[in-house]
Chain A
Amino acid sequence: MSQNQTHAPPKPPPPTRPEVELLKIIRAALDDESVQRNLLAYAQSKVGYRNAIQAEDLVQEACERAWKKAGTYDADRVSPELWIHGFLRNIFRENCRSQSKAVTTSNWSDLQSPASELERRIDISDARFRVQKYFEKLPLEFRAVIRMKYFEDADGSEMAKRLGISHENVRTRIYRAMNMLRSLAVADKQEGQS
């Protein structure tokens, strides 16, 4: 060990925000209409839009839990909206467990890995290949959105106008088509192996 080496004093822990400030941040997020809308959309898309009251109750419960835990919020790590969203997902997770509902895990969760690993595995060159190879095998309504988006370079509002459906609905169709392309590729691979 060199004699010149000095022992630097240990770094002081980063100053934590006073609890009052955290409460203010969370309160503001809870009062934000767009946050409420997004939470409700998550809940309603899970329980069905006809069960609006049940969805509202679940959102209310998530907000109450978030408010109780507001002092533990880490503003440097996550936005308040996504932090509150985590409480809502946990409620659904608990409901699934309490109903002993078999939770189907996709191929992606067997990794037991952090988000960065998942990010690494999202291979866009593979996605590009799938779109080109399996496009013709898609049902007509899915083929239409994939053609417009990936081959004709149409934007969301143009596609919505041409199909006579909402912008959001267009996107949902695209994601379903992507999942179908993935299933076709997996089936093809399995067929090739057998």
Chain B
Amino acid sequence: MKITDRELWIDETVSLYLEAFENDDFDTQDRIWELAERDAELAETMHSLHRGLIEEQKALDERTIARSVSMAMPSARIERESNGPITVADVAEELFHTAGKSLAGDGYAWIEKLRLSSAPLPDDLRLSKLSAWAEAQFGPAPAGFWKVFHYGAIKLEQRRASEKEYSLAARRAPNPEGNE
């Protein structure tokens, strides 16, 4: 383990603070803020924890809405902003809507499991590399599953690339004469 004692001390202290905050334990909170009075880094980390808690609430709301939409309209696809890397959950979501009969056996149970993983895909998407990576992360899947997953990953990557190109092409070109 490479972490320094200082970092670990801050993590341990802030995790205790989080527990106290969520349990309305104000005495412990006060004591930890007292420590923060002489430790600016600890104070900043505690402030940033509160910003993180707000983001966590927003993400939870987003997931609740998405779940309600997919329960009410199972065939609907929720389009999300595609700024970040493609994650395992993104591919699983794609397969959930498009794979159909190509998922044999308990393939759908695997999809459900993978929908919860926010791990980004590796850079090398060749079938052999992707399968080895995925098996190391999630264990052995039913026969042919990683092939279907690989197909979904490639399809999604191509779609993201074309979306990016489309948004670039849709920009107004600068007028060469400088006139509006």
Contacts and interface: CB of A to CB of B under 8 A. Distances in A.
Q: Do A and B bind each other?
A: yes
Interface of A: 38, 41-42, 44-46, 48-50, 77-79, 82, 85-86, 89, 92-93, 96, 101, 103-106, 108-109, 113-115, 118-119, 122-124, 127-128, 131-132, 140-141, 144, 149-151, 153, 161-172, 174-176, 178-179, 182
B101 interface: no
B25 A150 contact: no
A52 to B, nearest CB: 10
B9 A124 contact: yes
23 contacts: A45-B21, A46-B21, A49-B54, A50-B61, A86-B30, A103-B25, A104-B25, A106-B25, A106-B28, A108-B31, A109-B31, A114-B34, A122-B9, A127-B12, A128-B1, A140-B117, A150-B2, A164-B84, A164-B85, A165-B118, A168-B52, A169-B56, A171-B14
Given A42-B50, A174-B11, A178-B15, A89 B24 contact: no
A82 B35 contact: no
A178 B12 contact: yes
A93 B116 CA distance: 37
A79 B39 CA distance: 11
Question: What class of interface size applies to chain B in its complex with A?
Answer: 35 or more
B54 to A, nearest CB: 5
B135 interface: no
Given A41-B54, A172-B49, A119 B15 contact: no
Contacts of B58: 49
A171 B41 CA distance: 14
What 10 pairs across the A-B complex have the smallest Cβ distances?
A: A164-B84, A168-B52, A178-B15, A172-B52, A115-B34, A45-B53, A41-B50, A104-B23, A175-B15, A153-B2
